[in-house]
Amino acid sequence: MVCLTPLHVHTNVNTDVIDVRTHRRQRKKRRQIVFLTLIAIVRRVDCIVDLGKLYFYTTTIKNWIPIIGKHKLQPVIIDSLSFLHDRGCLKLYGFVIMPNHLHMIIEQLILNGKETPIASFKKYTSHEFEKYLKTNEPDVMKSFTVDWKSRKANFWQPHPDEFELDNEHTILQKLEYIHNNPLQEHWNLAKNPIDYEYSSARFYETGEKIFPFLYDYRDWCPSESSSIRAT
């Protein structure tokens, strides 16, 4: 069972004040969700997840080209996630960076300016991928060149896989899948999940927190509109 109750509860706080603050937070969150929906419609954003909820999220490089692994671009992804975490925009509760795709258990907390944290993540990583490939691998860069009004290069495939996590059993299933991904025969990137550098496996096995954006899923406290149910 996941513990959703704070460790310390102050019983001397005026309940009317709490109700007002809760109402304000809920109203702000509803406005943000409406805003995100409008962004999705106007800009044709191919992904939208609710703030404050937990999602299993997978995004893949265009045509499954393994530029992340082949050109050692994992630090770009780590830097982007760390930056967005430092701004208070997101938390991750599990992840693995594969040669051509990324799995995350993610909670988006607030917008980063006028866009979702995921949109900011894709924008920054695309810019850095483009900069690297133009300088070091111009022939590879040709595979990602587009003639769009909004951009000249596209690295992430549309329609990512996103799945809301609402019970502990499913969270554990997804974590197991994430941590065993590098061991698949197709990849053979490690013999043991904790040996793969760009994953949350070591954190869950040893408690060693190498990545600032990474948290234990049992520490997640959902909003009042969402709940984790142990099964």
Is the pLDDT reported for residue 20 higher than 50? Answer: yes
Q: What is the mean pLDDT of residues 219-228?
A: 58
Tokens of 133: 């490939």
pLDDT at 27: 77
H or E element in which residue 122 lies: helix 117-136
How does pLDDT run across 187-211, given as a tens digit for each residue? 999 999 999 999 999 999 999 999 9
How does pLDDT run across 156-166, given as a tens digit for each residue? 999 999 999 99
Average pLDDT, the chain: 85
Predicted TM-score (pTM) above 0.75: yes
Q: What percent of the chain has pLDDT over 70?
A: 78
How does pLDDT run across 99-151, given as a tens digit for each residue? 999 999 999 999 999 899 999 999 999 999 999 999 999 999 999 999 888 78
Give the pLDDT band (50/70/90) at residue 155: very high
**Exposed e or buried b for every residue in 133-169, given b needs 16+ CB within 10 A?**
beeeeeebbeebeeeeeeeebbbbeeebebeebeebe
Please give the Cα distance from 8 to 23 (Å, whole number): 22
Q: What is the CATH number of domain 15-219?
A: 3.30.70.1290
Q: Would you call 121 exposed, middle or buried from its count of C-beta atoms within 10 A (0-12, 13-18, 19+)?
A: buried
Strand order through the sheet with 101-108:
90-97, 101-108, 54-60, 161-164
Per domain, the residue ranges of the chain are 15-219
Please give the Cα distance from 220 to 203 (Å, whole number): 16
Write down how long the chain is: 231
For residue 97, which phi and psi values (nearest 5 degrees)? -100, 115
